[in-house]
Chain A
Amino acid sequence: MNCIIIDDEETARVIIQQLCSQVEELSVIEEFPNAIQAIKFLNKEKVDLIFLDIHMPDFTGFDFIQTLKNPPKIILTTSDKNFALEAFEYECIVDYLVKPITLPRFLKAIQKAESTPDINPASTTQDQSENETAGISSGENDLYINIDRRLIKIDMSTILVIEAKGDYILIKTEKQNYTVHSTLKKIEEKLPNDLFLKVHRSYIINIKKIIDIEDNSVLIEKDVIPVSRSNRSELMKRLNLL
């Protein structure tokens, strides 16, 4: 089994490496001090198993799991017993190790991982890279955007407008605005079709947030968004017109 280690504490990473070296079938291919770096790696590489620390600054182990579309098997490593119940809500989590980890307990976790059927046997690096485009990844209702090496979760239903700004996009939500290095095309693939519509080459709108429509524009909160002639008919089709 190929595995990676994610833990912000170097001591913990070295200990898990040492424990892995006691198991012939295990091969540690990479280790990461934070989840963001690991996500970038997983966009390109396939792994069978992840040793994942829960308690990391900025981005917890659980946040990390939620960004993965097809997570591999995961063994949680933590100094906290309180997360055990939450941990087993995730199908991909095969065991939960409390630090400091002993060899017998570690071996038991590996046995569990080996005997657990693959959750995502078809998952490949390609699946991941297709679904985790630069700067953006999505869950069912949430969208994660990468800003300054942090993944920030946005509830998609709160998005008002997305505007193209050169190599960036400006995402306006009910609470705040975010500038992300990405394209309208990439984010459009992540958004639910029933909620969002591209109304102009530079704008995607949340059609539930329209206040009114006038000629070739729509009003969303205080913003007047242009609607191109070619997209107007699709917009009209999507509205519940009296």
Chain B
Amino acid sequence: MTETPNLIYIKELAAGSDTFEQKLINIVKREFPEEQKEFLANYNSKSFTKAAENVHKLKHKIGMFGFETGYQVAIDFEEELKENNPSLFTEFMLILDAIENFLKII
């Protein structure tokens, strides 16, 4: 995976407001691990339809952090999970891991 997360979208949205930027980051820091955990629980129990719903929710945050190819991977993975096909799991996890690590340093 060559893409790395960035704050371009969040900074554009904040329009110079550090308060808003920090508020949004704090919410994402709280929400993302919960969504990630729920996804993994559903995936590991092979509840692929529910896992697809989790991927759907995570897609927004993947897009927010500037992933373009990664966003498409999430779209494809969501559709595949609906068909009980988990083949994009490893690729998808690389994106989640990248975001998880990024959230630790911002």
Q: Which residue of A lies closest to B61 (CB)?
A: A11
Pairwise interchain contact B13-A79, C-beta atoms closer than 8 A: no
B100 within 8 A of A: no
For B61-90 the 0/1 string (1 means CB < 8 A from A) is: 101100000000000000000000000000
Contact flag A11-B31 (CB < 8 Å), given A79-B59, A80-B56, A99-B60: yes
A103 within 8 A of B: yes
B-contacting residues, A3-17, CB 8 Å: 9-12, 14-15
B-contacting residues, A163-222, CB 8 Å: none
Question: What number of A-B contacts does a CB cutoff of 8 Å give?
Answer: 46
B14 within 8 A of A: yes
Select one of A19, A22, A55, A79 contacting B63, CB under 8 A. Answer: A79
Closest chain B CB from A188 CB (angstroms): 38
Pairwise interchain contact B12-A57, C-beta atoms closer than 8 A: no
A11–B24 CA distance with the chains assembled, in angstroms: 7
Residues of B whose CB lies within 8 Å of any CB of A are: 9, 12-15, 20, 23-24, 27-28, 31, 53, 56-57, 59-61, 63-64
Show 11 A/B contacts (Cβ-Cβ < 8 Å), sorted by A.
A9-B31, A11-B27, A12-B60, A14-B24, A15-B13, A18-B24, A57-B53, A79-B57, A79-B59, A80-B56, A99-B63
7 residue pairs, one from A and one from B, having the closest CB atoms: A100-B63, A79-B59, A99-B60, A100-B64, A79-B60, A11-B27, A10-B27
New A-B contacts (16) at CB < 8 Å, excluding given A18-B14, A79-B59, A99-B60? A9-B57, A10-B27, A11-B24, A11-B28, A11-B60, A11-B61, A11-B64, A14-B23, A18-B24, A55-B53, A55-B56, A80-B56, A100-B60, A102-B9, A103-B12, A103-B15
